[in-house]
A = this chain, B = another copy of it.
Amino acid sequence: MGQILLDLAVLGLLRDTPLHGYELKRRLADLGFWRVSFGSLYPGLKRLERQGFIESLRDGGRKRTYQLVPAGQAHFEHLLIEETNTTEDERHFHLRLAFFRYLDGDTRIKSLDRRRNELVERLADSRRSMRLANGRGRERPDRYAKALMERGVRSTESDIAWLDQLIAAERSEQASPSSAEQSQGETQWAK
């Protein structure tokens, strides 16, 4: 699981502009999905350089600037559309969303659709195992176990509804590509 997240995030951030490791860490934190430690970041950057996806160069002092090379951009795009199961780790999917601007509309919709299918399947699983747990006689789940299961179901339902909105918005923009990018979500589902 691990390094896919790191690779995707680092390559995605470097796609726009070269950065120092330190600044990279700050922006990684700003993305908000997970907190990378230096113990992961610097070895990870070394690995990415070894793999030929990025280049680093010292500028004067001990600072190092990292920048994407073409092979890295290709790898980034691969990671962005790759068909891995993202149900297990929603951070993976959310990170993709954060870089969705680099994908065309069709690919976006395909990706959103696939995620939706995964969630629908998960929802069915959850409901099934809830019925099972409540059904069998001896030792039914306690109040908190039940609350936890119900929360899971509700949050999956709400994620599916969210995806439906994203898909609809994407479709409607594809139909009339003139309407502005930035005013899309504001009225549609403001608090």
| Residues in chain B near residue A27, CB distance under 8 A | none
* Chain B residues whose CB sits within 8 angstroms of the CB of A169 once the complex forms: 143
B97–A185 touching, CB < 8 Å? no
Interface residues in A, total, Cβ within 8 A: 30
Query: A41 at the A/B interface (Cβ < 8 Å)?
Result: no
B-side contacts of A97, CB under 8 Å: 144-145, 147-148
Is A61 positioned at the interface, with any CB of B under 8 Å from its CB?
A: no
Q: Is A181 an interface residue (CB 8 A)?
A: yes
B158 touches A88 (CB 8 A): no
Q: Chain A interface (Cβ within 8 Å of chain B)?
A: 32, 35, 88, 94, 97-98, 100-101, 140, 142-148, 150-152, 154-155, 158, 162, 166, 169, 181-182, 184-185, 189
